[in-house]
A = this chain, B = another copy of it.
Amino acid sequence: MLRERFQGKNVLITGGLGFLGSNLALQLVEWGAQVTLLDSLVPQFGGNPCNIAPIADRVSVNISDMRDTSSLDILVRQRDFIFNLAGQVSHGDSMRDPQLDLAVNCVSTMNLVEACRKHNIQARLLYTSTRQVYGKPRSLPVDETHIPAPIDVNGINKLAAEYYHLLYDQTYGLRSTVLRLTNTYGPRQKISSARQGVAGIFICQALRGETISLYGGGGQLRDFNYVDDVVRAMLLAIASEECMGRFFNLGASPPESLAEFVEILREHCQFEVRQVPFPEDSRLIDIGDYYGDYSRFQEATGWKPEVSLREGIARSVNFFRQNKESYW
């Protein structure tokens, strides 16, 4: 039934060669959508042409940078659905080069919603934000009434980008929904870089047989989402009338510690684990334990995560072992 909502539809995915974008594209192509992938392929970001190998001849790829408006004004036209997944996601990089984060996350998003306002007000948009907008949780689990208090530049800029979408929904009728993602992991993640989060780093180190360092004991709780669950969440959200003009947490229950994540990896790979103190630059932007309450989204769409952490890690390790040359 969800499949029918997308069959034959015209879909644009920004950041389409990235981790989330490519997994989403695989599903949409399977369901018979016409898919265009927009990606800047900025080297330090997550775009990787290998991500779409299985569907390369069935999608249209457009390399351009959303910081420039010229291509956007063309690319948004005639789309039924636009998934806005492009962005800078590294918390650390956002502190080292805050102006770049601002340009990529805020200026680009503003350019996109402006292009839609001018050239395709009929489109439906979905924006992938981050739990980082909440900062260090004041109470757990974190639900959507938790006041935003971002503690890194990335969290601030992603929050502004969320608001642009919701503002254009409310003011101009550009129907938009926002998902606040938590720790997503799985096939096609750029695990060779530390920029896409701790799950990818651990998987890469485990595959390479490298020693994994757990900061401050590794007891920090996180809610890990397997990428297929996140893809389904995105599809449900953008198809749902009830999600328009609103923002939602994703999440997983129960939360698991980083140390548990690493323990499950040991079922597949051989490596050492070392306890180390927090490095100063990471400690400054660490948020402690985090897990979200996703009941608002479950009520709106029926979504809940279906892939357990054990199953998701097994599938991920399997994928990356079969595709070593492209990922690590």
**A291 CB, nearest partner CB in chain B, Å:** 20
Residue from B110, B151, B167 within 8 A of A152 (CB atoms): B167
Which residues of chain A in 157-178 are interfacial with respect to chain B, using CB atoms and an 8 Å cutoff? Answer: 157, 159-160, 163-164, 167, 170-171
Q: Which segment, of A95-103, A188-196, A266-274, faces chain B?
A: A95-103
Residue from B99, B111, B150 within 8 A of A110 (CB atoms): B99
Chain B residue with minimal CB distance to A98?
A: B110
A99 CA to B114 CA, complexed, in Å: 9
**A116 CB, nearest partner CB in chain B, Å:** 13
- How many interface residues does A have (CB within 8 Å)? 27
Interface: A2 (CB within 8 A): no
Q: Is the CB of A148 within 8 A of B150?
A: no
What is the copy number of this chain in the assembly? 2
Q: Is the CB of A167 within 8 A of B150?
A: yes
A164 CA to B106 CA, complexed, in Å: 14
**Which residues does chain B contribute within 8 Å of A285, judged by CB atoms?**
171
Interface: A147 (CB within 8 A): yes
Q: Which residues from chain A sit less than 8 Å from chain B, CB to CB?
A: 95, 98-99, 102, 106-107, 110-111, 114, 145, 147-148, 150-153, 156-157, 159-160, 163-164, 167, 170-171, 284-285
- What are 13 A-B pairs at a CB distance below 8 A? A98-B110, A99-B111, A102-B106, A102-B110, A145-B147, A150-B163, A151-B170, A152-B171, A153-B164, A156-B163, A156-B167, A157-B160, A171-B284
